[in-house]
Chain A
Amino acid sequence: MNKELVSDLAWGVGIVVLALASTYARKLGYIEAETVTRIVMCAIGLMVAWFGNRMPKRFVPNAVARQATRVGGWSLALSGLVYAALWVFAPPQVAVVGGSAAVILGILVTISYCLSLRSKARKARPTP
C-alpha cells in the first residue's frame, strides 16, 4: 500500500484509539471529562499540522501550484500547531473560538493566496 495512505490511515485510527482509551481512563476515574476533550482536540490539531507539513512534499508539475502548496502547507501547519497549543493550555471557551479561528484563518490565507496567483496569471496572459 502507498506509504502516504498508510500514514493517513494511521492518524485516523490513532485518534479513534486515543479517544476510546481516554474515555476508558475517564470511566475508571483516572482523568476528568475535560481532559479527554483536550487530549482528543490536541491530537486533531497535531494531525492538521502534520498534513500541512506534508503538503508541499507532494510533487506537482506546475510551478504556480507548487507555490500554492508551499504557502498552504505553512499556513495549515502553523494553524494546526496553534489549535493544538490552545487546546492544551487555554481555557475551553478560548480554545474553541481561538482554535477554530486559527484553522479558518489558515484556510483563508491559502484561498486568498491562490486567488492572488490566479489574478496575477490572468494579468500576465496576453489579451487576444
Chain B
Amino acid sequence: MSQVFKALSDPTRRQVLQLLRKGPLSAGELSDHFDVSKPTMSAHFAVLKDADLVHAEKAGKSVIYHLKLSVLEDALLGFVHSFDVGVEKPKSRKERAR
C-alpha cells in the first residue's frame, strides 16, 4: 500500500493515471503530454508499474499502458485529484510549442 501512496504522491504520475482513464495509451503518447525527458517518464512508469496501478503490454516496438486500479485506489486517486485544483499541471510539449 505504501507503494500506492508513493505513486499517487507525484502530480505527473497522477496525471498519467487520469490520461489512462480515457483508454490505453502508448509510452510515447503519454510522454507527449509532459515536458519531461524520456528517462524521467520511464522512471514514473516504473513506479506506477511497481505499485501495480498500470499494466504494460508490448505491442511491436512500443509499450501500451492500461489502467489497473482497484475500487479503493480509484477512490483514492479521485480524492487526491479533487484537491489538485490549485496545483499547476505539467505542460505538454504541444502546449509549450505554441
Contact = CB atoms under 8 A, between A and B. Distances in A.
Nearest to B66: A59
B62 interface: no
Interface string A42-74: 000000000011111101000100100010011
A41 interface: no
A7 to B, nearest CB: 12
B71 A59 contact: no
B68 A63 contact: no
Contacts of B70: 53-57, 73
B56 to A, nearest CB: 10
B32 interface: no
B97 interface: no
B33 interface: no
B19 to A, nearest CB: 15
Interface residues of A, number: 13
B71 A56 contact: yes
B67 to A, nearest CB: 8
Instruction: Please report whether the interface of chain A is mostly helix, strand, loop or mixed according to DSSP.
Output: helix
Interface residues of B, number: 12
B86 interface: no
Residue picked from B55, B66, B71, most chain A C-beta under 10 Å: B71
B66 A77 contact: no
A119 B72 CA distance: 29
Contacts of A59: 55, 66, 68
A66 B67 CA distance: 9
B24 interface: yes
B58 to A, nearest CB: 13
Nearest to B67: A66
Given A55-B70, A77-B72, 18 more contacts: A53-B71, A53-B72, A54-B70, A56-B68, A56-B70, A56-B71, A56-B74, A57-B69, A57-B70, A59-B55, A59-B66, A63-B23, A66-B67, A73-B70, A73-B71, A74-B71, A74-B74, A77-B71
